Structure 1
Amino acid sequence: MSQDVIESKAVLEPFPYHKKLRDHLKSRKKTWQWFKDEKVKTQQIESFKKDLLKNTYRLDQDSHGKLYQMAQEICKDLNIDAQVTFYQENNSLQLNASISVIETEAHIVLSGNILQLLDDKQLKALLAHELSHYLFFKIEDGDYEVTQRIILALANDSRSEDSIIETARIFQLYLELFCDAGAFKSCREHYTVIQMLIKLNTGLAEVNAQSYLDQAKEIINQDDEATNQQTHPESYMRSIALDLKARNAQDYFEELNRLIEGKWDINSLDIFEQEKTRKLSRDFMQLILRPQWMNSSAVLNLAQQFFPDFNKTEELDTTELKERLKHTTPSTKSYLCYVLLDFARVDSTLEKLPLAHTLEIAELLNLVEDYERVVRKELKLTVRSFKDLKEEAMKDLSRVNENQDNSIYDNE
C-alpha cells in the first residue's frame, strides 16, 4: 500500500492540539527541515534490533498465528501498511505493550502475562492501540512523527523552559487518546477497550466496563482538575473519552480539552498558554493604568519591569480576561492578586488611591475575596482595620473620580 493511499484514506484525525503544535513547529522552517531530513542510520537500526532480540523472545507466525491474523485485520481497519513483528519481553512482570516503528516495520513488545490475561477482543484492542501509533506517524507525510521528535528533543534538553516540557506532556496525552480512538475504530466496541485498560492497570481477570465507566463519571463530577500524568492520562479519563467518542458527543473536543489541558494555571503553562498569559497580563496592566493619575513614574516603571516594551493604550477590552478567570486555578488568582498589590504599593505618594482602585478592579473581575485576603495577609491587617482602610481609600477615590473620566467600567 502506498503512502498516498494512507494519507487519502486516513481513518483518524489528529487532535486539534497536535495540529496546532505541528503548525507552530513547521513555521520554524530550519528546525523543521533539519528534523525531517534526519534519518535513522543503518547502524542505529541494527543496534536497536540486536538489543530487541537480546531482551525479548520473538513470537513467530507458526506458534502465534492468531496475533498476526489480528494484526492483518487491524492494518486493514486502520488502512496502514505495517509489517508487524511481535515479541515477549524477558523477565518482566509489568503489564505493558510498546511499539517501535522503523519505516514500514512495526515491532510490538508485550510485557507480563498479557496473552493470558486478555481475551481475543481485548487483545485486539491493545494491538490496535499500538498500531494507531504507527498510523499517527504516517499520516500527512509523517508530519506528526517529526512534530513528536522535535518536541520531545526540546523537552529532554535540560536548558528548556517548563512551558516546553508542559507542551510535550500534553502532546503525548492527546496521542494516547488518539490511539485509544484507533482501538475503538478497529474493535467497534468501546467497552472492550475500557476492559483492556482496566485489566492492564489492575491485573484482574474479570472486570466490568460499565461499572468502571460509572466510577469514572463519578470522579469527573467530584473533581474538575485536569490530569497531571506525564505520558498517559488516567484510565478513568481515557474511559470517559472513549464513551464520548462512542456516543459521537458534540462536545467531544471541548470535554477532552477540559480533562487534558484544564483550567488556566500559571504554574503549568504550555507554549500556547504562556503566550495567552502574556497577553492577558498586559491587558490586566492596561486596566490598572487606565486612570491618568495612576500613571506615575514609579507605576510605569513597575509595568516595564513586567514588559520592557510596555506602553499605555486607550484601547481596553476585559472580556477575554473575565472569561478566562471563570476557568482558573487558585494559583493563577493568587498571581493576579499579588500583581494588583504590587501596583497598589509601588508609589507611596499616591497614598490610598491605588489600593481603592485595585479593589475596584478585583470587584470587576470577581477576584475581590481573593484580593482582600492577600491584602490583609501582606499588610498584617485585622478584619476591622482592613474595613476602615478600605472605607477611607474608597472615599478618596470617589472624590478623585468625580472630576475625571477614569472609570474602569466604561467599556462594559
Structure 2
Amino acid sequence: MVSQTPPRPVRHLFGRGTWPEVSRVGDILRTETVGGALLLGAAVLALVWANSPWSSAYQDLIGLRVGPSALHLDLTLAQWAADGLLAIFFFVAGLELKREFVAGDLRDPRRAVMPVAAAVGGMAVPALIYIAVNAGAAGGALSGWAVPTATDIAFALAVLAVISTHLPSALRTFLLTLAVVDDLLAIAIIAVFYTGSPNLLALAAALAPLAAFAFLVQRRVRSWWLLLPLAAATWALVHASGVHATVAGVLLGFMVPVIRRDSGPGPGLAEQFEHRWRPLSAGFAVPVFAFFAAGVSVAGVGGLGETLRDPVTIGIVAGLVAGKCAGVLGSTWLVQRFTRATLGDGVSWWDVLGLSLLAGIGFTVSLLIGELAFGAGSAKDGHARIGILAGSLISAVLAMLVLRARNSHYRRLCAREEVDTDADGVPDVYEDDAVQR
C-alpha cells in the first residue's frame, strides 16, 4: 500500500487573526482615529495661522523658551513638543511592538514576516527615490533621505474614518503593525544617522534610572510616583547625551513586561500601560507636536513656485506617493511569491494597493526627521514640510479613490464575519478558525 503525504495547509497572507487580538486592535484603531482627527485639525490650524496676518504671533509662540536653564532644559515650546511629547508617542509604540511580538498574533514568525517586510520595503524604496532625485543637489539636500520613509498611523486611520469603510480586520491589523514597525525603524534611523557625537558619560548615566525602571516594572510595580521620576530622569539624561530624546521613550516601553506574573488570563502590564497612555499620546502629544511643526509660511520659504521646484520637495513627494506604494505593495507581493501563500478570503490586491497608498501618508515622524536633517526653521526644512504635506495629501486622495471603490465589498465581508449565532459575543467565524487550529 502506497502511503500518501498529506497536503500542506494553504497559508493565507491576510487570514483572520484570533478574536482577542482583533478586538484589541479595534479598540486601538478607534483611539487612533480620534487622534487622527485632532492631528488634522491641529495641522490645519497651524498652517492657517502661519500664513495669516498674525503669523508673527505664531512664530513667537513656538519660539517661547521655558524650562530650567541649569539643567540645559530651557527649550522652546516647539522643542518640548518634538523632544518631550513625542517621547510619549514612542513609548506607546514600544509597548505595542513588544506586545505584538511577545503575546500578539505576530509571535508567529509566519504572521510577522509580511508586515515587517512591508515596513522595510516601504522605507527603502522612498529613500532610494529621494536619493535619486537629489543626487548632485547642493545645500546638503541628501541629508533628508529619511524624510519620506515614515508612515503616520493616526492620519492614515483618520482617512479610513472619512471613507467610512468596513476594512477587513486582517488588513487593519496589517496597517497598524506596519506603522508600528515603521516607527521603530524610524527611531533607529534617528539614533544612528541623525545623532552627532554623543556625550557618553550622560548616556551611561541614563542606564541607571532605566535599569531602576526596568527592575520595578518587572516586579509589576505600578506606582506613578516611583516610575514617572525614573522615566523623566532617563529622558533628561538621554536628551543631555545628544541622542534624540525620543529614543528614551522606546527603551522605556521595551522594559515593560507583557506576560502576567501568574501567567493567567487577562492583560499584562504592557497592555495596561498602553491602555492608559495611548489616549494621551493620540489625543494630546501628537496633535500638539503637529501644531508646532506644521505651521510653515509659504512666503517665508521663498514662495510656492520655488518650493515646488526644489529637489527636496520633489524627492519627498515622489518618495511618499510612489515610493511608499511601490515598497509596501512590492514587498507584500514578494512575500506571497516566495512563500507560495494566497490572499485571505475576500481580499484582493486592490485592497493591498489601497493600504500601500495609505502608507504614503507621512507626517509626525517625517516632520521630526526633516527638522533634524535640515535644522528647524531653515529654508530646506520649510520645503520639506511642504513636500510632506503635499505628498501626504496626494497619497490620501489616491487611497480614498481606491478604497471607496472597494467599500461595498468591505461592508459585505464585515457583515459576514460579524455573525454571532450563539450570542456569546465572539463572531462564529473566529470560533470556527479556533477549532480548525
- Structure with higher RCO (Cα < 8 A, 6+ apart): 2
Structure showing the higher strand proportion among its residues: 1
Q: Which has the higher helix share?
A: 2
For Structure 1 versus Structure 2, the TM-score category normalised by the shorter chain is under 0.3
Q: TM-score, normalised by structure 1?
A: 0.25
